Amino acid sequence: PPYNLSPPPFPLLLDFPYTLQYFFQFFFHTQRSVSSLSPPPSSVRKQVTAPFLSLSLSLTMAIPLLFFLFLSSLSSIPLSQSKLTLDYYAKTCPKFEQIIQETVTAKQLSNPTTAAGTLRLFFHDCMVEGCDASVLISSNSFNKAERDDDINESLPGDAFDLIIRAKTALELTCPGIVSCADILALSTRNLVKMVGGPYYKVRLGRKDGFESHDSAVEKNIARANTSMNVIIDMFKSKGFTVQEMVALTGGGHTIGFSHCKEFSSRLFNHSKTSQYDRGLNPKFAEALRKVCSNYLKDHAMSVFNDVMTPNKFDNMYFQNLFRGLGILATDNELITHPATRPISELFAKDQNAFFQAFAHSMEKLSVLGVKTGRKGEVRHRCDAFNSIKT
C-alpha cells in the first residue's frame, strides 16, 4: 500500500523516534520508486538510456546524502534533550502529574507567594549548570552548595518546602523513580498556570545532577545592579535571544518580589543631587524609602516587583516600568537600553505577545543543560546526593 508521507508534527527534531521513523519511511519509499523505474520501449531505448541511467543514479546517490544531512541536523540537538518525553512516567509512575498538581495546589492556597518563589528557584537552578536540581542541595562540611551563595540567599523557603513535599509524596507512591529536577520543572509550570500565566509543555526524564558548588553561581546569575549589556551576554552564552531574556525577566518579576537590600542603592544616598534614583516615580520612591527604612536590620523586608497585581501573572509589570514603578536597577534598564526598550514596549501593549514569548522561552529554559542516563541520578532526597560529594 502507498506510504502516508504527510508532513510530520513540528518541531521534528524534538521527537527523535518519530523523526527517524519518518525518515526511513521516506527512504524506503524512494528506494522502491527508483527500483521500479523501467526504461522506455526498445524502439527509443537507445536515445533515452543515458538520461534514464543518469536519473536513476542521481536518485540513488542522493539518498545517502539525504541521510547524512538528516544526521547532521540532529547533531545540533543535544542527545540529552532528545531523551526527554512528555509521557516519561506514564508506566513507571502514572500518578506523577496528579500528585504534583495536588501538592502545588495545596501549597499555593496556603502560601500565595509559592508560585513566584518556585519560578525563581527553577530559573536559578537552570541557569547554573542546567536544570538538574543542583540548587536544592544543602551544603556540608566538604562543600558549600549553590543555595548558600549570597545571590541565592533570598530564594524563598516555601519553594524548597514545596519540592520536599512533592518528593515525599512521590516516594511513597513510586519510590526511586521521579527525579527532583522533573518535580521542580513540572511544579513551576503548574504554578505559573495557576496564577494566570500561559501553559507550556514540559518534557520529562531529567536526572538530578552530581555537582553543586557556590562558585558556579556568580557567573551565571545576574545581580540587581548588573548592567544590561552583561545580562544580554550572559543569556546569549546560553543560547537565548534578547527577546527571550526580556520575556523570562518579565515572567519572574510579574509575580516576584525583591528584598530591600537589592535596590537600597536606588533609595538612599543615590547621588550628590538626589537621595533616590530619578528613574523612580517620586511618590513611589518615597513609599519605598519608608517601607525599607529598616532594611539594614530587617534583612527579610521585601517588596513585590509588580505593585499593581502582585499575585497575578500578567503584563502589568511591563506597564509599570513606563510609570517609574520598576524597583530594581535592571528593571529600569529594560526601558532605557536600546536593545530591550522596544521589546518592553511591545509586551506592555500586548499581553498575548508576552505570554507567547514567555511560554516559548520557558520550554527552551526547561531543557537547558539537562542530565540524562548515567550523567545524573534520581536522588532519594532532593537536598542531598545519594553519596557524599566533596
Q: Do 247 and 207 lie in a common domain?
A: no
Q: Do 191 and 130 lie in a common domain?
A: yes
Q: Do 239 and 329 lie in a common domain?
A: yes
Active-site residue, from 124, 213, 299, 337: 124
Is 87 within the bounds of a domain?
A: no
Q: Do 247 and 333 lie in a common domain?
A: yes
Q: Which of 187, 218, 249 is the last residue of a domain?
A: 218
Q: What is the pLDDT of residue 333?
A: 97
Q: Do 184 and 242 lie in a common domain?
A: no
Total residues belonging to the chain: 390
**Calpha distance 214→135 (Å, rounded):** 9
Q: Which residues pair with 371 in a beta bridge?
A: 207
Q: What is the pLDDT of residue 80?
A: 55
CATH classification at residue 176: 1.10.520.10
The residue segments making up the domain with residue 332 are 228-365
Nearest alpha carbon to residue 208 among 123, 146, 136: 136
3-state SS, 133-158, equals CHHHCCCECCECCHHHCHHHCCCCHH
Q: Which of 171, 187, 218 is the last residue of a domain?
A: 218
**Calpha distance 124→14 (Å, rounded):** 24
Q: What is the pLDDT of residue 201?
A: 98
Q: Do 241 and 360 lie in a common domain?
A: yes
Cβ atoms within 10 A of the Cβ of 90, count?
Answer: 12
Q: How far is CA 168 from CA 164, 183, 285, in A?
A: 6, 11, 44
Q: Is there a binding annotation on residue 330?
A: no
Q: What is the pLDDT of residue 82?
A: 58
**CA angle, residues 250, 15, 371, in degrees to nearest 5:** 65
Across the chain, which has 390 residues, the per-10-residue mean pLDDT values are 40 40 42 44 44 45 50 48 89 98 98 97 98 97 95 94 98 98 99 98 98 96 95 98 99 95 92 90 96 92 95 97 97 98 99 99 98 97 86
Is 203 within the bounds of a domain?
A: yes
124 assigned to active site: yes
Is 136 within the bounds of a domain?
A: yes
Q: What is the pLDDT of residue 269?
A: 87
255 φ, ψ (degrees, to nearest 5): -120, 10
Q: At what angle do helices 96-110 and 114-127 cross, to 10 degrees?
A: 120
Q: Do 298 and 354 lie in a common domain?
A: yes
Q: Is there a binding annotation on residue 309?
A: yes
Q: How far apart are the first and last CA of the chain?
A: 61
Query: Where are the strands (E) in 283-359, listed by range?
Result: 302-304
Q: Any residues with CB less than 8 A from the CB of 179 and at least 6 apart, and which?
A: 133, 206, 207, 208, 376, 377, 378, 379
DSSP string spanning 163-193?
HHHHHHHHHHHSTTTS-HHHHHHHHHHHHHH
Q: Is there a binding annotation on residue 383?
A: no
Q: Do 209 and 271 lie in a common domain?
A: no
Domain count, the chain: 3
Q: What is the pLDDT of residue 83?
A: 87
Given a contact cutoff of 8 angstroms between Cβ atoms, the answer to whether 125 and 134 are in contact is: yes
Q: Is there a binding annotation on residue 298?
A: no
**Calpha distance 304→308 (Å, rounded):** 9
Q: Is there a binding annotation on residue 350?
A: no
Q: Do 347 and 259 lie in a common domain?
A: yes
Q: Do 356 and 303 lie in a common domain?
A: yes
CATH classification at residue 343: 1.10.420.10
Q: Is there a binding annotation on residue 208?
A: no
Q: Do 177 and 296 lie in a common domain?
A: no
Q: What is the pTM of this model?
A: 0.79
Given a contact cutoff of 8 angstroms between Cβ atoms, the answer to whether 349 and 381 are in contact is: no
Q: Is there a binding annotation on residue 128?
A: yes
